[in-house]
Amino acid sequence: MRLLFLAVLRRHTGNAVTAQRVRDHLEAAGHECILRDAFDFESPSEIANFIKAESLEAALALHLYRGGRLLRGHGIPFGVIFGGTDLNEDVNQGEKNKVMGKVLEEARFAVAFTESMKETAQTQWKARQSSPAVTGAARAQPHAKGKIFVQSQGISTVPNAAFNWNSFLRRSEINQSADHLHVFLLICGLRRVKDPLYLVDAFSEWHQEEPSVYMMIVGPEVDPVFTREVEAKVKRTPGVRLMGEMAQEDLHAVVKNCFAVVNSSVSEGMSAAILEAMDLEVPVLARNIPGNAAVVTHEVTGLLFSDPQEFVQLAKRLVSDPALEKEVVANGRDYVRMYHSWQAERDTYGHLVRTLEGSPED
């Protein structure tokens, strides 16, 4: 089957990474998946012309507003995947909320990555739950009955075995023995919603008390103006380092060697960096926002903080309490391997496409 897959493909964003992964799943199921940036189309009529020209049979959209609104009214079956900002931010804007509700009325299925995302959708569009049902839960498994399937984000990590941690530290201008360091790694594209500067002042104060702790911000430039702001701030902040874009296998190796992974985002759908850290058996400290709290259970699979001071308090506790570190690592590893299976995700999307063909399994 020839499928159109609409997503926002801005480099170094979670939606772009998710779209590439889902496309791989669909193509592995034997379908031809044409992945296009939703921002390439200015109106539904342009989509209609594209569908006709490409002889497309079905469609999928990642992000209920940015992608889903373009698929309405074309007469081909489509499904939608919630992207995060659609439920965390766009839902609060009246016109966008209305449009997204109408998208759900036409969609064959809707997939959310977490239970909290599902509950938000159900609360917002109660009157439309019968067509279609809105589903999604971190712990749910695909079910045989009905046309709606549930799947969390699948995770697969492959660290570069040849990566040299000591050389990387020297490139980062950290001239201390790795044996005595505690490197806290914040992975994000440099844009405001990721809020990479949120913790740097509090962390720097801690570094000046304890010189063995460092915060390292690793990620590509996404917003050039904001990137200059981050660079200037980090340059004058002791104990904080900024590294640019890295190959995925090298980044996974850095995660494997660091002490803990940090997330300070203002808004998240589902953080791949958090889940990858859990898979690589590294502790996680995450800002207490709905997207993070959906996958990080405080003091069980990681630690949640509400402000920079609490972050430092929890980070100090993690450094001084090996038993806590061991417990959250083990629980995080078990959680991600049980509920975020890459193979389960592949199997589920293969099944979802069959529902678009009009022959879902009973």
**pLDDT per residue as tens digits for the range 257-280:** 999 999 999 988 788 899 999 999
> What pLDDT is attached to residue 82?
87
Pick from 28, 122, 103, 119: which is nearest to 62 by CA? Answer: 103
Q: Quickly list DSSP for 41-53.
A: -SSHHHHHHHHHH
Distance CA 206, CA 252 (A): 26
CB crowding 269-293: b at 16 or more within 10 Å, else e? bbbbbbbbbbbbebbbbbbebbbbb
Collapsed DSSP state (helix, strand, coil) of residue 331? helix
Contact by Cβ (8 Å): 351, 344:
no
Write out the residue limits of the CATH 3.40.50.2000 domain(s) in the chain.
2-154+341-356, 165-339
Instruction: Work out the number of other CB atoms within 10 angstroms of the CB of residue 308.
Output: 18
> What pLDDT is attached to residue 146?
30
- For 143, the token pair is 């079910």
Distance CA 203, CA 197 (A): 10
Pick from 254, 252, 165: which is nearest to 216 by CA? Answer: 254
Contact by Cβ (8 Å): 303, 321:
no
CB crowding 213-245: b at 16 or more within 10 Å, else e? bbbbbbbebbeeebbeebeeebeebebbbbbee
**CATH entry 3.20.20.105 includes domain 2-154+341-356:** no
- For 199, the token pair is 């913790």
Contact by Cβ (8 Å): 89, 61:
no
| pLDDT tens across the length of the chain (362 residues) | 999 999 988 765 677 788 888 999 999 989 999 999 999 998 888 999 999 999 999 999 998 889 999 998 898 999 999 887 787 788 888 888 888 888 988 888 888 887 777 777 877 877 444 444 444 433 333 322 233 345 678 888 999 999 999 999 999 999 888 888 999 999 998 999 999 999 999 999 999 999 999 999 998 888 999 999 999 999 999 999 999 889 889 999 999 999 999 999 998 878 889 999 999 999 999 999 988 998 899 999 999 999 999 999 999 999 999 999 999 999 999 999 998 988 888 888 888 888 888 544 44
- For 137, the token pair is 């839960």
Contact by Cβ (8 Å): 163, 254:
yes
In the chain, where does DSSP find H-type helix?
14-28, 44-54, 85-88, 94-106, 115-124, 165-171, 200-209, 224-235, 248-257, 272-279, 290-293, 308-320, 322-339, 342-356
> What does CATH list as the number for 165-339?
3.40.50.2000
